[in-house]
Amino acid sequence: MATLYTQQSSNIRKTWFLMGVFLVVVIALGYAVSWFSGSFIFLYVALIFALVMNVTSFWYSDKIVLRMTNAKPIAKEEAPELYNIVENLAITTGLPMPKVYVVDDPAPNAFATGRDPKHAVVAVTTGLMQILDRSELEGVVAHEMAHIGNRDMLVMTVAVVLAGCVAMLADIFSRSLLYGGGNNRDRHPAFLILAIVGIILAPIAAKLIQLAVSRKREYLADATGALTTRYPEGLASALEKISSHNIPMKRTSHATAHLFIADPYGRGKRGFIQKAYSLFHTHPPAEDRISRLRSMGQV
């Protein structure tokens, strides 16, 4: 019978599979650019660029995210309940005590960042603290602690960098086609047609895979958070309140949207057309997450 542990293992395997697909797409697209131009310099440049961006994101991702979201450190005396919850969950999970930050924003939301558990940050909005009771806030913090424990921040950073690398390669190739570059145009037209189709679809595929990785991480963090608190209803109730507000944060960015527990653009309840469009959102539908959590509580 499936358990929380088997669900976590399954999601981890699927996530690394998606990351492998990302790498294949980057290499294949880089090779296509090099083939068309007649020089492998494009492939080398793309791989070096991806490596540099990876290293930069690894070391400075937390500082970049905190600045982009305008999160500020908060003292224990200013939010004793929040601090106590984070401390208790750090002890429960065996993780180092993360730094606690607050974002002055009425939209209820939260995120975690940092390259590893020793450099982790948990941040919540003022709106979140205002609408949640203790058990709900504990569920949200447990979700973020799960991201820290599962090393999700590093995985998500890699996904973003690889997606950006694919987009960059696609742009280089499209410009090469537009301006008539390349030494292999005398090859069969079918290859050129395939290359054009690939250059159009590759960024879309990369974005979809990036979003799929993000969604898998959210489901996994929900499951891990529920396992930590032993009370799935706390997080389920919190997600209900957060999604019902359905208001965007004051400072939003597509680069950091996947880090939040809920879509910072406030795209909550959706109609039929919006559900189809939600394939391009970084978060799975709140109703699906709530349903999964409540089904866990019934096991």
Closest CA relative to residue 138, chosen from 166, 165, 110? 110
Residue 246: which pLDDT band, with cuts at 50, 70 and 90?
Answer: confident
- For residues 260 and 110, the answer to whether their CB atoms sit within 8 Å is yes
Task: Tell me the average pLDDT across 169-189.
Answer: 59
pLDDT of residue 48: 75
pLDDT of residue 128: 97
Query: What's the mean per-residue pLDDT of the chain?
Result: 77
pLDDT of residue 152: 77
pTM greater than 0.85: no
Exposed e or buried b per residue across 28-54, where buried means at least 16 C-beta atoms within 10 angstroms of its C-beta: ebbebbbbbbeeeebbebbeebbeebb
pLDDT of residue 272: 45
CA 247-251-253 angle, to 5 degrees, is 100
Residue 64: which pLDDT band, with cuts at 50, 70 and 90?
Answer: confident
CA 18 to CA 205: how far, in whole Å? 11
- Residue 129: exposed, middle, or buried by beta-carbon count in 10 A (0-12, 13-18, 19+)? middle
Give me the sheet containing 110-113, strands edge to edge. 72-73, 99-103, 121-125, 110-113
pLDDT of residue 184: 53
CA 277 to CA 287: how far, in whole Å? 16
Cα distances (Å, whole numbers) of residue 125 to 72, 191, 240, 261: 10, 52, 16, 11
Check if 218 is active-site.
Answer: no
Between 241 and 46, residue with greater pLDDT: 241
Closest CA relative to residue 156, chosen from 224, 212, 201, 108? 212
CA 83 to CA 8: how far, in whole Å? 27
Domain chopping of the chain, boundaries = 4-297
pLDDT in tens, 76-126: 999 999 999 999 999 999 999 999 999 999 999 999 988 778 889 999 999
pLDDT of residue 2: 47
Phi and psi (nearest 5°) for 125? -90, 160
pLDDT of residue 9: 62
Distance of CA 128 to the CA centre of its chain: 20
- For residues 208 and 118, the answer to whether their CB atoms sit within 8 Å is no
How would you classify residue 114: left for phi > 0, otherwise alpha for psi between -120 and 50, otherwise beta?
A: left
pLDDT in tens, 182-226: 555 555 565 556 556 666 666 666 666 656 666 778 888 999 999
Between 194 and 264, residue with greater pLDDT: 264
Instruction: From the candidates 144, 218, 233, 287, give the one annotated as an active-site residue.
Output: 144
Task: Tell me the average pLDDT across 163-188.
Answer: 60
Task: Tell me the average pLDDT across 165-183.
Answer: 62
pLDDT over threshold 70, residue 129: yes
